[in-house]
Amino acid sequence: MSSTPVNYDKTKSFLIDTTKCTGCRGCQVACKQWNQLKAENTTFFSGEGYQNPPLMSEYTFTRVKFKDYQKDGQNEFAFYKEMCMHCNEPACASVCPVGAFVKTPEGPVVYDAGRCIGCRFCMIACPFGIPKYEWSKAFPLVRKCTGCFSRIKEGMQPACVTACPTAISYGSRADMIKEAEKRLKNRPDRYQQTIYGKDEAGGTSIFYLTEQPLDELGFKPVTQRSLPSYTWQALRLVPGIFLTVGGGLSLLSWFTHRKERIRQEEAFKNSKVQPETTVEETREDQP
Amino acid sequence: MTAAARIIINEIKGYHNFLKFMIGLVVMGALATMARFIFGLGVTTNLNDVYPWGLWISFDVVTAVPLAAGAFTLGAIVHCFHIKKLEPLVRPAIVTGFLGYSLVCVGLLLDLGQPQRAWHTMVYWNIHSPMFEVSMCIMAYTTVLFLEFLSPVCEKFGYHVPLRVLRWLEMPLVIGAAAISTLHQSSLGTFFLIAVDKLHALWYNPLLPLLFWMSAIFTGISIIILEATMVHRYLGQPDESELLEVLTKILPWTLGAYLIVKLAATALLSHGPLYDRPSLLTLFLAELIIGIIIPMFMFMKKAYREDDRMQLRGASLVIAGVVLNRFNVSMFGMEQADQAIYYPSIIESLVTIGIIAAHVLFFVLLAKYFPIFEHHPETVDYSLPDHAHSMTAAHEHSHASGSESVH
């Protein structure tokens, strides 16, 4: 994308400490309430363990993933609140042909349903699989977590943050990274020594601290480079290629046709026939 | 009105059964399209949140665009590289290209969730989006092809003035077509550069756009060979295999260059394991061996280049290879190991079959009613007929100077 580095330190960010999550799913309920999302008809154990609903969808912008594991012969749970990562340089915003996704200066990546043409390129591009489609409709749009942009504009915190009793801290990106690093330093035995989201996809607004290894919890391994840079390194060549191909072929045609033009002119000169000269002369004579 | 309808019905009754079958397929496709708009994408297709792009993107857009590349490739070969003897092949190629791109537009519109907003791409620009670039190019190029396609239409109806304008525009259109096609053929590859951790390493590398463009060139050439041979066999048009031999000489070079770039890019520039999924490795090798290596060695032999059956077989292999390649990139290679396998629904398949049938049908009908194969540039009368002269008699002097500049 743009070569000037933007400072994201002040953007609003989530610090989600999965070791403190109790799996109450208050965030899921708060999200549904604030965004007025329909309930889904689900059953227990349709996904992994107690995870419910089994998948995020057009009706579910966030959900808590459950991971069963054994520790010292005891059954344990690990939780992972899945939601839009609100990337610093979002892939969805870069690929959208009509620019329906915007990274706001406040932090959330918001979606303008009035622009969307429904091409689903955002769904292909998103490394976290966040944008969901209204498959039930004849003329569907995309749905995704808004980062509660409407709330934070008014100085409130996102719905899931206010609902969470234990695990989510909310604040500026710099503060949240500082806080996460502090926790990692103070209790190295409690945490995996990584902050998922700090560098993933070029940096996001959601940071996760975990006790379990990331891949065991279902975190996707994602490139550390910003995704738009992958396509931009090809797309930035477009004007140059257009001019090179157009100009090159024009020059080539000029040369290849030149031979023929010269041949024609000489053939015309050498031939005895001089058509239309009389007509031309008579015309020249009448002013 | 009824008389006109009766004439049309009688005309259709006279068609070959094959054409009637094609009409049937197109009607089925149209009905399936109606079902998509009435019941929605979710019910009528096998697409879902895990698998948002299916057959319509993989075939109707990503594969159909290189299959319609014949017009720009041949235009550049004939007019820019000035191999004039291939001229008789140009007009059928333009018709194929125009039909191909029109149907790409149809396919794209069906796949959009909000097709009535397709014009948004022209208003809300996002130059960082490969999709924006491709849709602008496809709109521009379809217009160019339409203008090129107007020539036989004007000849048919004897519109002399537009014919002169079109002839004057010929070179700019050919060069514009090649430049625009280079951009969108390659940008279709750029689409998948964003799928960093999704597209398998066998296909994901930064040279994907270049590979898409190079393969579009030899696919364009192969499509012309296929089309000219079929037209000779089934529409009773003259045998052009001598001209096609010139094209088969170009093929081993373009195929060889593609093979080198592809192998180098896969070996040197890809990240991640290449051999971890045997099924994908098989598809990768199949695409290379069927579509590149076998036809390359076939067309290196003079005896095969001159044999019209071998021309057809070689070209068909190239086309099969490129179809497999585009499906590998846009469908098979995008499926993760733990993901349920996608297969198109009946409605998706009917629509795509209808689009292919529409292409064949319209091509045959255009060939039937318009001077597409009888085109010999030296015989076309570009001069203004007498009645036009009498109209411009008052401005005879200015007209004379005008005609000088044309010649």
Taken in order B257, B260, B262, B264, the sign of the CA dihedral is negative
Residues in chain A within 8 Å Cβ distance of B113: 116-120, 133-134, 137, 139-141
- DSSP helix/strand/coil, B316: helix
Residue A46 has pLDDT above 80, yes or no: no
Subunit contact B193:A234, Cβ cutoff 8 A: yes
How does DSSP classify residue A60? B
Residue B332 has pLDDT above 80, yes or no: yes
Subunit contact A230:B127, Cβ cutoff 8 A: no
Q: How many domains would you assign to chain B?
A: 1
Residues in chain A within 8 Å Cβ distance of B41: 133, 135, 138, 140
Confidence category of residue B236, pLDDT binned at 50, 70, 90: confident
A·B CB contacts under 8 A: 193
- Averaged over B11-27, what is the pLDDT? 87
∠ CA(B80), CA(B405), CA(B400), 5° rounding? 150
How far is C-alpha B52 from the geometric centre of its chain's CA atoms? 24
Can you tell me the distance from the alpha carbon of B194 to that of A125, in angstroms, rounded to the nearest whole number?
A: 6
Q: Which residue of B has its CA nearest to A100?
A: B124
- Averaged over B370-383, what is the pLDDT? 65
| B197: nearest CB among A127, A252, A257 | A127
- ipTM for the predicted complex comes to 0.86
Residue type for A105, please? P
Which alpha helices (H) appear in B112-207, and where do they start and end? 120-123, 130-157, 160-191
| B194: nearest CB among A91, A116, A257 | A91
- Asked if the structure places residue B201 within a domain, the reply is yes
- Asked if the structure places residue B390 within a domain, the reply is no
Taken in order B247, B73, B360, B8, the sign of the CA dihedral is negative
Residue B56 CB: number of other CB atoms within 10 A? 23
Best of A1, A98, A136, A262 to substitute, by most chain B Cβ atoms within 10 angstroms, is: A98
The CATH number of domain A12-227 is 3.30.70.20:
yes
Subunit contact B42:A135, Cβ cutoff 8 A: yes
Subunit contact A227:B194, Cβ cutoff 8 A: yes
Residue A272 has pLDDT above 80, yes or no: no
Can you tell me the distance from the alpha carbon of B87 to that of B240, in angstroms, rounded to the nearest whole number?
A: 11
Residue B127 has pLDDT above 50, yes or no: yes
What is the extent of the structural domain holding B243?
A: 17-45+69-373
Which alpha helices (H) appear in B265-307, and where do they start and end? 278-288, 294-300, 302-306
Cβ neighbours of residue A258 closer than 8 Å, sequence gap 6 or more: none
Residue type for A206, please? I
- Asked if the structure places residue B127 within a domain, the reply is yes
CB B272 within 8 A of CB B203: no
What digits encode the pLDDT tens for the residues A67-92? Answer: 888 878 888 888 889 999 999 999 99
- Asked if the structure places residue B1 within a domain, the reply is no
What is the predicted pLDDT for the residue at A105?
A: 93
What is the predicted pLDDT for the residue at B1?
A: 60
What digits encode the pLDDT tens for the residues A54-71? Answer: 888 999 999 998 888 887
- Asked if the structure places residue B53 within a domain, the reply is no
Can you tell me the distance from the alpha carbon of B191 to that of B173, in angstroms, rounded to the nearest whole number?
A: 26
- Asked if the structure places residue B200 within a domain, the reply is yes
Residues in chain B within 8 Å Cβ distance of A56: 49
Subunit contact B80:A127, Cβ cutoff 8 A: no
Can you tell me the distance from the alpha carbon of A152 to that of A108, in angstroms, rounded to the nearest whole number?
A: 9
Which residues between 47 and 66 in chain A have a beta carbon less than 8 angstroms from any beta carbon of chain B? 55-57
- Judge whether A239 is closer than 8 Å to chain B, CB to CB: no
Subunit contact A257:B82, Cβ cutoff 8 A: yes
- DSSP helix/strand/coil, A166: coil
Residues in chain B within 8 Å Cβ distance of A263: none
What is the predicted pLDDT for the residue at B389?
A: 53
The pairing of beta strand A132-133 with beta strand A142-143: antiparallel
End-to-end Cα spacing for chain B: 46
Subunit contact A97:B135, Cβ cutoff 8 A: yes
Distances, alpha carbon B68 to alpha carbons B150, B178, B192, in Å: 18, 13, 20
What digits encode the pLDDT tens for the residues A187-246? Answer: 999 999 999 999 999 999 999 999 888 888 888 889 999 999 999 999 999 999 999 999
Subunit contact B175:A253, Cβ cutoff 8 A: yes
Check whether the bond before B238 is cis (ω within 30° of 0). Answer: no
Which of A100, A112, A108 shows the shortest CA–CA distance to A11?
A108
Task: Quote the tokens at residue B111.
Answer: 């796949």
Subunit contact A245:B37, Cβ cutoff 8 A: no
CATH number of the CATH domain containing B75: 1.20.1630.10
What digits encode the pLDDT tens for the residues B278-297? Answer: 999 999 999 999 999 999 99
Subunit contact B186:A241, Cβ cutoff 8 A: yes
Which alpha helices (H) appear in A164-218, and where do they start and end? 173-186, 214-217
